Amino acid sequence: MTKIVIVGNGMVSYKLCEKLVEKKSAASITVIGEEPRPAYDRVHLSAYFEDANADKLSMASRDWYSENGIELVTSEKVSHIDRDNKQVTTHNNSTYSYDYLVLATGSAAFVPPIKGVDKKGVFVYRTIEDLEMMMAYGKKVSSAAVLGGGLLGLEAAKAALDMNLKTSVVEFAPRLMPRQLDEVGGELLKSKMEDLGVEILLGKATSQIAGDDSMTGMDFSDDTSLDVEMLIISAGIRPRDELGKEAGLEVAERGGFVVNSLMQTNDPEIFAIGECASYENMIYGLVAPGYDMAEVVAEQIANENKEYKFEGFDMSTKLKLIGVDVASFGDPFCDNVPHSPISIADQQAGVYKRLNISEDGKKLLGGILIGDADDYNMLHQMYINEMALPPHPVDLIAKGSGEGGAAIGVDALPDTAQVCSCENVSKGDICCSIQDDGVTDINGIKKATKAGTGCGGCLPMVNNILEDTLKKMGATIRKEICEHFEYTRQELFDLIKVNEIKTYDELLAKYGKGAGCETCKPAVASLLASIWNELILNQATIQDTNDRFLANIQKGGSYSVVPRIPGGEITPDKLIVIGEVAKEFDLYTKITGGQRIDLFGATLNDLPLIWERLINAGFESGHAYGKSLRTVKSCVGSTWCRFGLHDSVGFAIEIENRYKGLRSPHKLKGGVSGCIRECAEARGKDFGVIATEKGWNLYVGGNGGANPKHAVLLAGDISKEEVVRYLDRYLMFYIKTAEPLQRTAPWQEKLEGGIDYLKQVIVEDSLGIGQQLEDDMEILIANYSCEWKEAINNPKIRKRFAHFSNTDQDDPNQKFKRERGQRFPVAW
């Protein structure tokens, strides 16, 4: 029987074992690993900080190895390879003979030769044992720095934040992720990281680690320093190739066992895979190419298939770094390639997108996505498969309707397109599992093809292919909320309304199962608010931070205060009150684009005091924190403007007061313009009203932001009464039928029949539900009450607004600075 010895027991080693088992290799397999546990998922290592549960990261149990006839040896290090006698020796002097030897030794963290790097408090971020030591030490300190601003460094920064440590990232390069992001992208990522409380220090060369026995800080070559008690080094990796030189195996200049396309070293019976292998002088630091290498070796050993070769790997990546979507694909820079770049940057929304287009405009060469990477999978496929671009390539990032933007859908992909790079699964493989094997859900696809079982980045595209294929087969697609509610949002809406259900717990008991999750809880909270319009604070168990404290949490941990100013119209007396409140509580003050005044920097315990002053002056909550109506912007209209046709201010105030407090699947904004000059920018809103000679035009389904949309005409030359009637119907129909967190624009576009269908339902009342929608709106309007007024008058609720349970003091961690005569947050 053929003897196979695998040195190393990481993710790639496990994948090789899995492939050999699948191919029914008639071989004796022994796996020798240094770590005390079987292979685990290093890609999601930071998840260990959530509950310290190593089992969740496990790739397979010890029983899996034994059940498949694999001998697993842990806590043992191979120290010698005897090529002449074909055996390896461990540090315990155990010997194992082989016919084929596979080196999957992986890599080690690169530790720069910095003076003092051996002090207590300095760690590397590589194994579960590393994390356990970090977590134990992190309980003794209050601050941590990460040396390295690349992918692993930012993951390490998340680990430090998860330990509630003041966190800094120190990077030698002038920007974060210098191998993946350009200058604009790096600056935006820096800004987003700072918003999350991470201090970013760029262009810093560390000269020494300060301190005696334990570190107390870092000194830099520019004569600056950082006071910090703990350091996590994430400055790159070094292939574990120390066995090679002694055994006479060729090692690349930059490290790693030199391998050919069959993954053979210069000894044809010794293979190397994963991060210890150097193919064409390239070390691949991602798991997906390691899996490809494992497949190649399994084919050589099990099937003697010399045609299956490793031919390099596309290093495109998509990941979420501390809650921030970051992706790059193809050539993100095209520094030495003729190209035409297309980019959009929205600093306020925290979104940056760049596409590199060939000079002839026919091919996509690469790109960068930050803040919104929903279209990554489709753009990546377009790059890999050299798919034709639409006439206006900017549509791919400007319209962004998800998975390929407005221009391309998954049906345009060839069957050969590789959808899951971790498991090398094509679109054709997925379609066959659906069409031939009867698979109807994501879990079924995972079992049938293993797509999505690796890093999981392909799952959105896998789901789109599933839905697209099922639709073509004539199947009905049900978008159930989650595993706890086997109902769509619209079905839950009807169940809540018909059965007069008022709480999440009641709904879960009657129509759900389990304990619920972070998907269904906010979705149900939104439904309850949209149906009954009762005080949101009564839903104490299922609120996010903004709803819990009736305020948007801002950079530095402070909150914003936004009183409602309908139509932008405000009396001098009310202006004075806002000024007095801002001055008394030292709040940053800004006039917004939505014609109201934002007050920033309020501490949690000051919120009731601030709102008490505002409520007493006649203000109401502006609902800037909720998925609800924000503002109805107006121009001065016929009241002052010589071009104005009608009273746009009065109508905007009427509309805003009608729908204030209205909770919906996503935020709502409106506008009323007094003439076609459109000074209120009404067509950039979810609903917009523009005066005409004969009355008003009503537009719906617009929005600004990273993916701007122009609203389209629903009805023209109609009266004020008709505007209100159609708006009642439109908004209630949207509330009832949209998906969670879906704005009016994508909801409207995805309705079968689009705007033409909406005209039939809303204006022509083709479904006969017009009166019901109007009645439902009247119920919501009748139930409205100012949330802040209720909060400050209810002693039990008012007690919630405190940083600490045993004192009324402010949070001492919140720091501010003064610029331009106002107070700003300091990066914390």
Distance of CA 64 to the CA centre of its chain: 33
Are 389 and 382 spatial neighbours (Cβ–Cβ below 8 Å)? yes
Residue type, 552: N
Alpha helices in 254-375 (DSSP H): 287-303
**CB neighbour class for 305 (10 Å; exposed up to 12, middle 13-18, buried from 19):** middle
Q: How far is CA 143 from CA 38, 139, 164, 166, 191, in A?
A: 33, 10, 9, 4, 20
Q: What are phi and psi of 556, to 5 degrees?
A: 90, -5
d(CA 715, CA 724): 12
750 Cβ neighbours under 8 A, 6+ residues apart:
none
Pick the closest to residue 555 from 816, 819, 227 (CA basis).
Answer: 816
Phi-psi map region of 553: left, alpha, beta (phi>0 left; psi -120 to 50 alpha): beta
Q: Which residue has the tokens 């079992």?
A: 447
Are 688 and 673 spatial neighbours (Cβ–Cβ below 8 Å)? yes
458 is known to lie in a ligand binding site? no
d(CA 104, CA 113): 26
Q: Provide the 10 A C-beta neighbour count for residue 552.
A: 17
301 Cβ neighbours under 8 A, 6+ residues apart:
2, 4, 20, 25, 27, 100
Are 532 and 781 spatial neighbours (Cβ–Cβ below 8 Å)? no
Q: Provide the 10 A C-beta neighbour count for residue 521.
A: 20
Query: CA quadruple 531, 535, 538, 540: dihedral positive or negative?
Result: positive
Q: Report the relative pairing of strands 166-171 and 143-147 from DSSP bridges.
A: parallel
b/e code 475-504 from CB counts within 10 Å (16+ = b): eeeeeebbebbebbbeebbebbbeeebeeb
**CB neighbour class for 429 (10 Å; exposed up to 12, middle 13-18, buried from 19):** buried
Query: CA quadruple 449, 452, 453, 454: dihedral positive or negative?
Result: positive
d(CA 452, CA 431): 14
675 is known to lie in a ligand binding site? yes
What are the tokens at 92? 């315990």
DSSP category for residue 809? P
Q: How far is CA 331 from CA 181, 335, 397, in A?
A: 10, 9, 17
Distance of CA 644 to the CA centre of its chain: 45
Residue type, 365: L
**CB neighbour class for 545 (10 Å; exposed up to 12, middle 13-18, buried from 19):** exposed
Are 469 and 433 spatial neighbours (Cβ–Cβ below 8 Å)? no
422 is known to lie in a ligand binding site? no
What are the tokens at 49? 């900080």
d(CA 95, CA 92): 9
Q: Report the relative pairing of strands 270-272 and 143-147 from DSSP bridges.
A: unpaired
641 is known to lie in a ligand binding site? yes
Residue type, 295: E
What are the tokens at 408? 């391309």
Distance of CA 37 to the CA centre of its chain: 31
Q: Provide the 10 A C-beta neighbour count for residue 296.
A: 24
SS3 599: strand
What are the tokens at 468? 């697209």
Q: What is the largest CA-CA distance in the chain?
A: 98
What are the tokens at 665? 């699947």
Annotated binding-site residues for siroheme read 679
Annotated binding-site residues for [4Fe-4S] cluster read 635, 641, 675, 679
Annotated binding-site residues read 635, 641, 675, 679
